[in-house]
Chain A
Amino acid sequence: MNKHIIRFPKDGQASLVANEWQVWDGESDEGAPLNTPQLKDELNKILVPFHWWITHHQNADIIERVEKGEIGVWFATDDDILKHADIIEAGKAQWPLVAAHFPIFRDGRSFSTAALLRDRFSWQGEVRAIGDVLIDQLLQGARVGFDTFELRPDQDLNVGLKQFELFTVTTQNSWRGKRTLLEV
Chain B
Amino acid sequence: MYKYDAIDQTLVDQRVAQFRDQVARRINGTLAEEEFRPLRLQNGLYHQRHAYMLRVAIPYGLLSAKQLRTLALIAEKYDRGYGHFTTRQNIQFNWIELEQTPDILAELAKVEMHAIQTSGNCIRNITSDAFAGVAGDEYIDPRPVCELLRQWSTLHPEFAHLPRKFKFAINGAKEDRTVLLCHDVGIELKKNAQGELVADIYAGGGMGRTPILGQLIKLDLSWQVLPSYLTALLRVYNRFGRRDNLYKARIKILVKALGPEEFARQVEGEWAHIKNSDDNFTQAEWDRVAKHFTKPAYQQLSALSEQQIVAGAPETERSAFTRWLERNVKPHQIPGYASVILSLKPHGTVAPGDATVAQMNAIADLSEQYSFGELRITHEQNLVLADVEQSQLLELWQAAKQQHVALPNIGLLTDIIACPGGDFCSLANAKSLPIAKAIQERFDNLDYLFDLGDISLNISGCINSCGHHHVGNIGVLGVDKDGEEWYQITLGGEQGNDAAIGKVIGPSFYADEIPDVITNIINTYTEQRADEESFIDAYRRIGVTPFKEAAYKDAKKKDRAESATS
CB of A28 to closest CB in B, whole Å: 25
Q: Please name the residue on chain A nearest to B236 by beta carbon.
A: A112
Complex interface bits, B1-44 against A, C-beta within 8 A gives 1, otherwise 0: 00000011011001101100010010000110001001100000
Q: B121: CB under 8 A from chain A?
A: yes
B residues 143-162 touching A (CB-CB < 8 Å):
151-162
Residue pair B155, A119 in contact (C-beta under 8 Å)? no
CA distance A140 to B157 in the complex (A): 4
Chain A residues within an 8 Å CB radius of B273: 119-120
Q: A106: CB under 8 A from chain B?
A: yes
Q: Please name the residue on chain B nearest to A156 by beta carbon.
A: B30
- Interface size (B, Cβ < 8 Å)? 42
CA distance A102 to B418 in the complex (A): 38
CA distance A179 to B160 in the complex (A): 17
Residue pair B279, A173 in contact (C-beta under 8 Å)? yes
Q: B238: CB under 8 A from chain A?
A: yes
Q: A105, A119, A141: which contacts B274 (Cβ < 8 A)?
A: A119
CB of A72 to closest CB in B, whole Å: 22
Q: Please name the residue on chain A nearest to B15 by beta carbon.
A: A167
**Interface of chain B: mostly helix, strand, loop or mixed:** helix
Chain A residues within an 8 Å CB radius of B11: 167, 169-171
Q: A181: CB under 8 A from chain B?
A: yes
Q: B77: CB under 8 A from chain A?
A: no
Residue pair B227, A172 in contact (C-beta under 8 Å)? yes
Q: Please name the residue on chain A nearest to B285 by beta carbon.
A: A181
Residue pair B35, A134 in contact (C-beta under 8 Å)? yes
Residue pair B30, A173 in contact (C-beta under 8 Å)? no
Complex interface bits, A118-157 against B, C-beta within 8 A gives 1, otherwise 0: 0110000000000000101101110110000000000010
Q: A8: CB under 8 A from chain B?
A: no
Q: B8, B30, B39, B162: which contacts A108 (Cβ < 8 A)?
A: B162
Residue pair A170, B155 in contact (C-beta under 8 Å)? yes
Q: B288: CB under 8 A from chain A?
A: yes
Chain A residues within an 8 Å CB radius of B10: 168-169
CA distance A168 to B7 in the complex (A): 9
Which A residues have a C-beta under 8 Å from some C-beta of B?
80, 105-109, 111-113, 115-116, 119-120, 134, 136-137, 139-141, 143-144, 156, 159, 166-174, 178, 180-182, 184
- What are 22 pairs between A and B in contact, CB < 8 Å? A105-B35, A105-B161, A106-B161, A108-B121, A111-B161, A115-B235, A136-B22, A136-B35, A136-B39, A137-B161, A139-B157, A140-B157, A140-B160, A140-B161, A141-B157, A159-B30, A166-B18, A170-B11, A171-B11, A174-B157, A181-B288, A184-B7
Q: Other CB < 8 Å A-B pairs besides A140-B161, A159-B25, A171-B155, 15 of them? A: A107-B243, A108-B160, A109-B243, A111-B157, A115-B235, A136-B35, A136-B39, A144-B157, A156-B30, A167-B14, A169-B10, A171-B11, A171-B151, A173-B279, A182-B282
Which B residues have a C-beta under 8 Å from some C-beta of A?
7-8, 10-11, 14-15, 17-18, 22, 25, 30-31, 35, 38-39, 121, 151-162, 227, 235, 238-239, 243, 273-274, 277-279, 282, 284-285, 288
